Amino acid sequence: MIVGTEKADPLLQVAEVSHRFGGLHVLRGVDFGVPPGSLTGLIGPNGAGKSTLFNIISGFLPPQRGTVRFAGRDITRDPVQTRTRAGLVRTFQTPKVFGKLSVRENLMIGCYRHLVSGVVGNMLRSRRSRVEMELMHAQAAEAGERFGLTSVMERAAGQVTAGMQRLVELARACVSQPRLLMLDEPSSGLNTTEIAQLRELLQRLNREGITILLVSHDMHLVEVASRVHVLCFGSIIASGAMAQIKQDERVRQAYLGV
Amino acid sequence: MSPLRRTLVWGIPFVVWVALPFVATRHIVDLFVFAGLYTIAGLGVAFLLGQCGIVSLAQSVFYGIGAYCTAWFCAHKGLPSPVGMAAGIALSTGIAALVGWPVLRLSGHFLALATLALGIIGQVLFLEWDWLTGGTLGIGGIPRIAPFGFAFDTPFRFYFLVWPIAFLLLVLHHNLLHSRNGLALQAMRDSPEAAAVLGVDSHSLKVKIFVLSAALGSAAGSLFAHYVTFVSVDSFAIDRAISFLLLAVLGGVYTVWGPVLGALFITVLPQWLSRLGDIHAFVFAAALIAAVILLPEGFGGAIRNWWRARAAK
């Protein structure tokens, strides 16, 4: 019964979300959903409120009005880690890798939400603790190969290139097997070739069953999305397929000023 | 690392450790016993600082609680040593959990000041609650640890008790560092936001490590009480908390064995320098400043970096 409801309903539902910083109304009753299995895009010019909305969905900022529902449950007041445990995982506009740890260790931590061993068990190297470490190593090795990181696995993540760090962050998020992967401006800092590779990667991940919410101001990247929402001055001004969106007068005005 | 080199790296320090009490004077062995006690207490502080970024000046309180519980249960009540130590650890961890839960929501210097306040409150209570602690007069007559009739009643014997315990705790520390929660701690230190989006509950993990650190401080305090057989408030003042923090910083908080080097520095070096006469305190202070400036990652970090650079060549 529950499974049926989840299939019918959006995986993520943002309803009437509003937020203001002092006198500045950043979000005005934003309403949109992310269907399960989709690759949904959220675009908008600089200052549209994308990052604020992203922070509200991922739990870094409580909204002043409105609700966020994930898999049928109201998560508006849940802390970040509770949302993650439910399967909502995000990346950051500036990649946040664990700089002092190796790339391998960064990937290993991706498994964290699925593991349960405690501090004392870890100290005593309990059987569960050892099994979990083996699992973490295996998952990291697999992700390293899948994302083309094998040559840098033992290097400190803080010392690899910006493009690699972006990939490490994405690979780490995928290791956590998210139900919804939220990507915040994943193309920033990447060159044209890397953006093309990123597009392919996102399509592949989506085909493998990961629901993706892609936030970007890069229209070219967002073309991979099956459905796109356009945010402008805190409101959704258009929703639909990319081809449709491109023809929308309000969108053209917001992006091109014509 | 080749098997021969590994044997040498582990074997030489082990032989030196075993041989030391046979060749050193009683006074030197006594200093090494204190270095072992400080290693145990400092390990908790180093773990908090290195893995959670928490500057703790409260360790003297837990060290004191361990010592007073041992004094109270073993000297006053005549109960065996494990009871005193267990009571100390239970009380310390309970207080650490109760205080840590709200306090560890703070960060940076506010958190350091909060732990300093805890250290000062502890010191005042140890002094004022003289019906319990004996105040400035302290509590004497604490029995030695004597399992199966074998009393650890000399520096020589205690040396072979305290250091194996310290080594065992270092191994446990190492295990924790290379586990799910150890990686989570290091992740949290590097980027709390990124750790949170992977499901790491930073606050809860910090509280657990604070509790663990308190347990180590308390265990060290209990051993201290059994060793000196007398405890008074002077041993648990705020300067003791600063010593624990100092040894963690000097030894290096990013290596497991850093606190050992830090503890040796602050216990053995001042005594060794005392032969210089009145200027020894000045020389020690200068060595301290030089160590902090020249070795930002402590002795442990410097040795590790040197070792890695050598291996890379």
- H or E, element range at B310: helix B298-312
Shortest Cα distance from A82 to chain B (angstroms)?
7
Residue A5 has pLDDT above 60, yes or no: no
Beta carbon pairs, A and B, within 8 Å: 105
B180/A112 CB distance under 8 A: yes
Residue of A nearest to B208 (CA): A119
Angle at which helix B155-177 crosses helix B202-228, to 10 degrees, equals: 170
DSSP B236: G
Residue pair A38/A240 in contact by the 8 Å Cβ criterion: no
- pLDDT tens, residue by residue, A148-194: 999 999 999 999 998 899 999 999 999 999 999 999 999 888 888 88
* pLDDT attached to residue A1: 34
Q: Are the beta carbons of A133 and B193 separated by less than 8 Å? A: no
Residue B103 has pLDDT above 60, yes or no: yes
What angle (nearest 5°) sits at the alpha carbon of residue B223, between those of residues B220 and B229? 135
Residues shown for chain B: 313
Q: Which two tokens stand for residue A110?
A: 């991706």
Q: How far apart are CA B238 and CA B18, in angstroms?
A: 33
In this prediction, residues B2-21 reach a mean pLDDT of 89
Return the structure tokens found at A115.
Answer: 């593991």
Average pLDDT over residues B209-213: 96
Percent of chain A scored above 90 by pLDDT?
A: 71
Determine the residue among B169, B197, B210 to mutate to test chain A binding: the one whose Cβ has the most chain A Cβ atoms within 10 Å. Answer: B197
pLDDT digits (tens, 9 = 90+) for B114-139: 999 999 999 999 999 998 898 889 99
The helix (run of H) or strand (run of E) holding residue B219 is helix B202-228
pLDDT of residue B4: 84
pLDDT of residue B187: 94
How far does A250 lie from chain B, in Å, by closest CA?
A: 35
Q: Tell me, yes or no, if B49 comes closer than 8 A to chain A by beta carbon.
A: no
Q: Residue B153 gets which letter from DSSP? A: -
The 10s digit of each residue's pLDDT in B75-85 is: 999 999 999 99
Res. B234: pLDDT tops 60: yes
Cβ within 8 Å, pair B198-A176:
yes
Using the beta-carbon criterion (under 8 Å), do A113 and B199 form an inter-chain contact? Answer: yes
pLDDT at position B306, please?
87
The helix/strand/coil state of B131 is helix
Query: Hey, are the CB atoms on A119 and B209 less than 8 Å from each other?
Result: yes
Rg (CA), chain A: 19
pTM recorded for the entire structure: 0.88
Q: Map residue B139 onto helix, strand or coil.
A: strand
**B142, HSE (Cβ side, Cα atoms, 13 Å):** 29
Buried/exposed code over B72-107 (b: 16+ C-beta within 10 A; e: otherwise) = bbbbeeebebeebbbbbbebbbebbeebbeebbeee
Q: Which residues of B touch A118 (CB under 8 A)?
A: 181
Note whether A93 and A188 are within 8 A (CB).
yes
**Euclidean distance between CA atoms A96 and A210, whole angstroms:** 21
Instruction: Name the residue in chain A with its Cα closest to that of B176.
Output: A123
Q: How far is A11 from chain B (nearest CA, A)?
A: 18
pLDDT tens for each residue of A23-36: 888 999 999 999 99
In angstroms, the CA A171 to CA A47 distance is 28
The answer on pLDDT for A4 being more than 50 is no
CB B111 within 8 A of CB B103: yes
Q: Which two tokens mark A125?
A: 């190297």
A→B interface, C-beta within 8 Å = 58, 60, 79-81, 84-85, 89-92, 96-101, 105-106, 108-113, 115, 117-119, 122-125, 129, 132-133, 136, 169, 172-173, 176
Average pLDDT over residues A54-77: 94
Least confident range of A95-104, B7-16, B56-65: B7-16
The predicted structure's pLDDT at residue A8: 54
Helix (H, G, I), strand (E, B) or coil at B1: coil
B271 vs B78: which has the higher pLDDT = B78
Q: Measured between CB atoms, which of A81, A98, A119 is closest to B199? A: A81
Distance from CA of A254 to the nearest CA of B (A): 32
d(CA B101, CA B103): 6
Kindly determine whether residue A133 and residue B179, on different chains, have CB atoms separated by under 8 Å. Answer: yes
Tell me which chain B residue has its CA closest to the CA of residue A136.
B180
Tell whether B128 lies on the interface with A, counting CB pairs under 8 A. no
Average pLDDT, chain A: 90
Helix, strand, or coil (residue B56): coil
Q: Which of A96, A108, A170 to mutate to test the interface with B (most CBs of B within 10 A)?
A: A96
C-beta atoms of A99 and B194 within 8 A: no
Distances (CA, A) of A182 to A12, A144, A178: 11, 20, 9
Give the H/E segment covering residue B140.
Answer: none
Closest-CA residue of A relative to B207 is A119
What residue of B is the nearest CA neighbor of A81? Answer: B199
pLDDT at position A258 is: 52
* Average pLDDT of the segment spanning A8-20: 90
**CA separation for the pair B181, B299 (Å, rounded):** 26
Q: Is B215 on the interface with A (CB under 8 A)?
A: no
> How much is the pLDDT for B30?
95
Mark residue B295 as left, alpha or beta (left: phi above 0; alpha: psi -120 to 50; beta: remaining): beta
Chain B residues closer than 8 Å to A101 by CB: 183, 186-187, 190
Average pLDDT score, chain B? 92
What is the 3 state secondary structure string of chain A? CHHHHHHHCCCEEEEEEEEEECCEEEEEEEEEEECCCCEEEEECCCCCCHHHHHHHHHCCCCCCEEEEEECCEECCCCCHHHHHHHCEEECCCCCCCCCCCEHHHHHHHHHHHHCCCCHHHHHCCCHHHHHHHHHHHHHHHHHHHHCCCHHHCCCEHHHCCHHHHHHHHHHHHHHCCCCEEEEECCCCCCCHHHHHHHHHHHHHHHHCCCEEEEEECCHHHHCCCCEEEEEECCEEEEEECHHHHHHCHHHHHHHHCC
The average pLDDT across B176-199 equals 93
